[in-house]
Structures are given as structure tokens and as C-alpha cells.
Amino acid sequence: MSRLPGTNPTLDASRERSSGWRARIDELQRLELALVRSQARLGRVTWVRPLALALNHLGNGWLYPLLAALLLWLTPRDFLSITLMAGGAAATAHLVYPSLKRFIARIRPCELDPAMPPLLAVLDRYSFPSGHCMTVTAVAIPVVVAVPALTIPAVTGCLLIAWGRLLAAHHYPSDLLAGVALGAVAAIPATLFL
């Protein structure tokens, strides 16, 4: 049985599946961008802007000395071990993070849509995954395992840091989820050690 030149049923089926996945990914991107636009507009509201800036600055690193002071006050005897576990989890996540960002190379929403200028300067070029969400998750998990009373404040803090990234137009929701997942995976060894 001969086929016409250039026809291959297996290749055609593969292209059809690929275009179906591409259409789903494009639709998800469109929905995510619409959500980021709404949050970015909210981030420019007079009373929300200072909150958005504060959340982003906390996520840039200011949160961690505050957390260390709280841990020192709550658990002076276990402070060093908890701090080492949380720091180790964050360091582990940061070993993978830069390469993953460069490999995925996802353009930030604020760069994709000029109508959404960033609320503050970005720390690196690409958006996927969120380093802020990754780090806060990697630190929060060992802390919560060691001090369960901090569960609700930790979850609330993680959610607020994530929301701040949307308000700043720096990330898509899937960037945030990927950051949380990467932080959680990095925290597992530290948590098991605790």
C-alpha cells in the first residue's frame, strides 16, 4: 500500500494532539493574564498599593530576620536547629531555581502587557517559578513542623506573599503554584530530619 508523499497518519495524529495541548496552554495563559490584570489594577488602588509594596519587600528578604526573631523568642532552645533546617531547605531550592527559570524562560506578565507596568523592579528576568513563593514555602514547612502553633500565620503569610506577586504584575498564578511546589519538595528532607 502506497501513501501520498508527505502523508503520515502517525505524524498527523501527533500534530493534532500537539495542537490540542497548545490550544489548552494558550487558553490557560489567557485566563492567567486576565487574572493578573485584575490584580495589577487592584495593586494600584491608593489603599492597596502600600500593602502590595510591603508584601513584595517582605518577600524580597525582610520577612526572614523577623521570622528568626520570632523563632528565637518562641523556641530559644531549638532556634538553631530550626533555623538551619529552614535555611537548608531554602538553599536547596535555590540550587535548582536559577537553571529552571532560564530553561523555562517565561516572560513576566508586566513585560508581556505594557498596560501593566510593574509595581516595583523585578529581581530577575523570568517569571516561572516564583522565587518568592518557593523560598517562603521552603522556610515555612520546617518552621511549622517544629512549631505547629505557627501553622495559621505561616499559611496566611505564604498566601499574602503570593498575592503580592500578582499585585505587582510579576507572576502568573501557575508561577506561584510552581514556586510553592518547588519549595515544598526542597523542604521535605529538612522536614524529615526534624
In this predicted structure, the answer to whether residue 1 has a pLDDT above a threshold of 60 is: no
What is the model's pTM?
0.83
Strand, helix or coil for residue 135? helix
Report the alpha-carbon distance of residue 122 to residue 94 in Å, rounded.
17
Please report which confidence band the pLDDT of residue 13 belongs to, taking 50, 70 and 90 as the band edges. Answer: low
Report the alpha-carbon distance of residue 43 to residue 37 in Å, rounded.
10
Please report which confidence band the pLDDT of residue 189 belongs to, taking 50, 70 and 90 as the band edges. Answer: confident
Please report which confidence band the pLDDT of residue 122 belongs to, taking 50, 70 and 90 as the band edges. Answer: confident
CATH of domain 9-193: 1.20.144.10
Report the alpha-carbon distance of residue 34 to residue 39 in Å, rounded.
9
In this predicted structure, what is the pLDDT of residue 179? Answer: 96
C-alpha cell at 104: 523555562
Please report which confidence band the pLDDT of residue 14 belongs to, taking 50, 70 and 90 as the band edges. Answer: low
- Would you kindly state where each structural domain of the chain is located, as residue ranges? 9-193
Which are the contacts of 73, defined by CB distance < 8 A and separation ≥ 6?
Answer: none
Residue 140's closest CA among 162, 127, 123, 155?
155
Report the alpha-carbon distance of residue 189 to residue 186 in Å, rounded.
7
